[in-house]
Chains A and B, each alone.
Chain A
């Protein structure tokens, strides 16, 4: 595929998708390099724990086994892996690392990433060129949104939320879960609030008074499990989370409503996850083979269906776009923005303007109400 701009390629994809339709499902072949034999090495992946690890094992495990690579996993988050790399003093204990946008600059500055040989990652041709560079390859996308229990909202007479501050409604005191302010999940919500009040990614100060109000009013700051459990129990009526979470909650029987964040009039604020090869690892080539599989069809489809992320692989994006608006919606496409046009029109956070540590220092304090 010729390298084109993001929008152009998405437009092309839309057309391609329209033409090919579901027929694409019949062509599941990945553009894999010739099957290599890595001689039974162990490749350690530092990525999210629990079901995410299981997904990797199930979708990529067999393919890697064919290449004679045994997979091992360390569970955690991108910022924790950075700390572990620093502690490791150049002898890292893992080969592939999960990278989230806000940690990438530090990983790069610390010299913890290998330059990737894109030749070993042939599936990269299915990615939009904004999705990868010489150090990282994007393999998942989520879209942060306001999730709410529409039955409860109707019962209490609260209007449908259209922006974050709507969740400061007095009737929602103690009934909202916010993602941890210092984590990746909160970046888009904070930016949305900051931009509305005259700030931006670089200057989040205008958002701080609003965030303080939230801190005084929210049930807690938490990730997926406590959020979904509290939503199910009826302890909370609304949260900021991804469209994928919304689908999981819907499937589990929670009357969930969703409103995607809007920034600068653009609806949908995506966050991306990448993989990189760790400097000091002895298995860079195997790491690249792994990354190639991670953007391959099996894994991309696996995490779309099971974990609720949106594929970065454009072949699949196009395929799932077909599901939008169908009566039966097993994949929960209602909750995720999938149409190529919509994806192209989303607001893309300017991560080069975000200083994670500067943000973190302020937000840590705001979170406990200081």
Chain B
């Protein structure tokens, strides 16, 4: 992507030209191609949401415990919030584990990924490409291998160094930071590539301190990459089951692992209710993000590179 980045320069703040300038693509609405494309978007969104609608719908089924403990019923036979009111504390606890784990993984992913991206793009060390490959290597290791290998390493660490990571929150986060940081590196890297370092140099020449230059010039430019990378890291950690399956302990079982157990072994009707709450909760989080920084900033950074 870097080849093109040179020609594009820093991006404009808005997603698309504002209405005042006229939308050059408004004619789409009339053209056949535009109609097909719009229909496709609507179709895909509907298909994405069908299973979710089913789970949310079934979660308000008023069936008794006896009727509901074997399976979900859709369409619901009525409306009841009974399962929402009876969610077991251990599910709340596991949701809390998931949220805090994903947030902390995202933060540490950024702490690792942002300097790595800066270093990779800016430094002129010889082995730069090789180092880049090393930093992105976690993307190529299957999650199941990461889970097993980390668990084994944690047990060894406990035996040799007396560091207790098995089943601990730290151990869980470490595994997720490992797989999530490459996403941050990519997202931030893309922003950096399209930014002209001479601006920084100019600032330095004009006597600004390095810290100040970084805060005033570099950081705002890579900010979209930071938001996007943070979001990807959060989603990777929040949605992961495979790594957690190995690294989780009794107090640190993330919600998706509980869901997996419910789906494969023994059904618990409060789990779909909890999943629906996660859905609604994430909507509120996004609304808050939209209010605070604007959703577009989350996604303006590239996720590839």
Least CB distance, A18 to chain B, in whole angstroms: 30
User: Which of these, A87, A91, A233, A252, contacts B67 with CB under 8 Å?
Assistant: A252
Task: State A252–B68 Cα separation when bound (angstroms).
Answer: 7
Q: Could you tell me which residues of chain A, from 45 to 82, have a CB within 8 Å of some CB in chain B?
A: 48-54, 57, 72-75, 77
Q: Which single residue of chain B is at the shortest CB-CB distance from A251?
A: B66
Among the 9-residue stretches B6-14, B193-201, B233-241, B250-258, the one with 4 or more Cβ atoms under 8 Å from chain A is B250-258
Selected contact of B266 from candidates A49, A57, A251, CB within 8 Å:
A49
Give the residues in chain A near B257, CB-CB below 8 Å.
Answer: 75
Contacting residues, chain A, for B88 (C-beta < 8 A):
54
A44's closest neighbor in chain B, by CB? Answer: B250
Contact B258 A50 (CB under 8 A): yes
Does B264 count as interface, using CB distance less than 8 angstroms?
yes
Q: Which of B139-189 contact A (CB under 8 A)?
A: 151-152, 155-156, 158-159, 166-167
Q: Which residue on B lies nearest to A88, using beta carbons?
A: B155
- The answer to the question of A129 belonging to the interface, with a C-beta cut-off of 8 Å to chain B, is no
B69 engages A226 (CB within 8 Å): no
List residues of chain B with CB within 8 A of the CB of A228: 70-71, 267
- A233 and B54 alpha carbons, distance in the complex (Å): 13
Contact B268 A72 (CB under 8 A): no
- CB of B71 within 8 A of CB of A225, answer yes
Per-position 1/0 for B203-242, Cβ under 8 A of A:
0000000000000000000000000000000000000000
Interface residue? B72 (CB, 8 A): yes
Question: Closest approach, in angstroms, between the C-beta of B246 and any C-beta of chain A?
Answer: 9
CB-contact partner of B166 in A51, A73, A90, A93, under 8 A: A93
Given known pairs A50-B261, A50-B262, A88-B155, the reply for A224 and B66 (CB within 8 Å) is: no
Across the interface, do A225 and B265 meet the contact criterion of CB distance under 8 Å?
A: yes
* A259 CB within 8 Å of chain B: no
A229 within 8 A of B: yes
Instruction: Give CA–CA (A224, B264) in the complex, Å.
Output: 7
Judge whether A50 and B268 touch: CB under 8 Å. yes
B155–A225 CB distance below 8 A? no
- CB proximity of B109 to chain A, nearest CB, Å: 26
Q: A75 near B261 (CB under 8 angstroms)?
A: yes
**Contact of A51 with B159 in the complex, beta carbons under 8 Å:** no
A3 at interface (Cβ–Cβ under 8 A)? no
A69 to chain B, nearest CB (A): 14
Query: In whole angstroms, how far apart are the Cα atoms of A89 and B152 in the complex?
Result: 9
Q: Across the interface, name the chain B residue whose C-beta is closest to A74.
A: B250
A202 beta carbon closer than 8 Å to chain B = no
Asked if residues B156 and A51 are in contact (CB atoms below 8 Å), the reply is: no
Nearest A-chain residue to B72, judged by Cβ:
A229
Whether a CB of chain A sits under 8 angstroms from the CB of B286 is: no
The contact string, 1 if C-beta is below 8 Å from chain A, for chain B 64-90, is 001111111100000000000000101
Whether B159 and A89, one on each chain, are in contact in the complex, defined by CB atoms closer than 8 angstroms, is yes
Cβ-based interface call for A170 (8 A): no
Closest chain-B Cβ to A213's Cβ sits at a distance in Å of: 25
Interchain CA distance A57-B158 in the complex, whole Å:
29
Q: Is the CB of A252 within 8 A of B70?
A: yes
A224 touches B69 (CB 8 A): no
Within 8 A of B (CB), among A210-233: 222-226, 228-229, 231-233
Chain A nearest CB, measured from B50 CB (Å): 15
A91 to B72, CA, bound (A): 40
Q: Considering only CB atoms, which chain A residue lies closest to B156 in the complex?
A: A89
Interface residues on A, range: 35 or more
CB-based contact B266/A51 at 8 Å: yes
With A88-B166, A252-B69 already in contact, the answer to whether A48 and B265 are too (CB < 8 A) is: yes
Task: Evaluate contact between B268 and A229: CB separation under 8 angstroms.
Answer: no
Does B138 sit at the interface, judged by CB under 8 A? no
A236 within 8 A of partner (CB): no
A249 to B67, CA, bound (A): 8
Does any Cβ of A come within 8 Å of B288's Cβ? no
A336 contacts B by Cβ under 8 Å: no
**A157 beta carbon closer than 8 Å to chain B:** no
Pair A51/B69 contact, Cβ less than 8 Å:
yes
Kindly state whether residue A119 has any CB partner on chain B within 8 Å. no
How far is the CB of A46 from the nearest CB of chain B, in Å?
A: 9
Chain A residues contacting B133 (CB-CB under 8 Å) are none
Alpha-carbon separation in the docked complex, A15 to B136 (Å): 72
The answer to whether B266 and A52 have CB atoms under 8 Å apart is yes
- Give the residues in chain B near A231, CB-CB below 8 Å: 71
Residue of A nearest to B248 (CB): A74
Chain A residue nearest to B152 (CB atoms) is: A87
B residues in contact with A252, CB < 8 Å: 63, 66-71
Q: How far is the CA of A252 from the CA of B257 in the complex (A)?
A: 26
B132 within 8 A of A: no
Whole-angstrom distance from the CB of B161 to the nearest CB of chain A? 13
Known: A54-B268, A72-B250, A224-B265. A49 touches B71 (CB 8 A): no
Is the Cβ of A232 less than 8 Å from the Cβ of B155? no
**Which of chain B's residues has its CB closest to A73's CB?**
B250
CA distance A72 to B159 in the complex (A): 23
Q: Nearest chain-A residue to B266 (Cβ)?
A: A50
Check B267–A49 contact: CB distance below 8 A: no
Contact A223 B70 (CB under 8 A): no
- Complex interface: chain A residues within 8 A of B264 (CB): 222-223, 225-226
17 contacts between A and B (CB under 8 A): A50-B266, A51-B69, A51-B267, A72-B250, A73-B250, A75-B253, A75-B257, A91-B159, A222-B264, A223-B265, A224-B266, A225-B263, A225-B266, A228-B70, A251-B69, A252-B68, A307-B266
A-B residue pairs, 6 tightest by C-beta: A72-B250, A49-B261, A228-B70, A50-B266, A229-B71, A251-B66
Q: A50-B265, A225-B264, A229-B267 are in contact. List 7 more A-B contacts (CB 8 A).
A: A48-B266, A49-B262, A49-B265, A51-B69, A72-B250, A89-B155, A251-B69
Taking Cβ atoms with an 8 Å cutoff, the residues of A that contact B are 44, 48-54, 57, 72-75, 77, 87-91, 93-94, 222-226, 228-229, 231-233, 245, 248-249, 251-254, 307
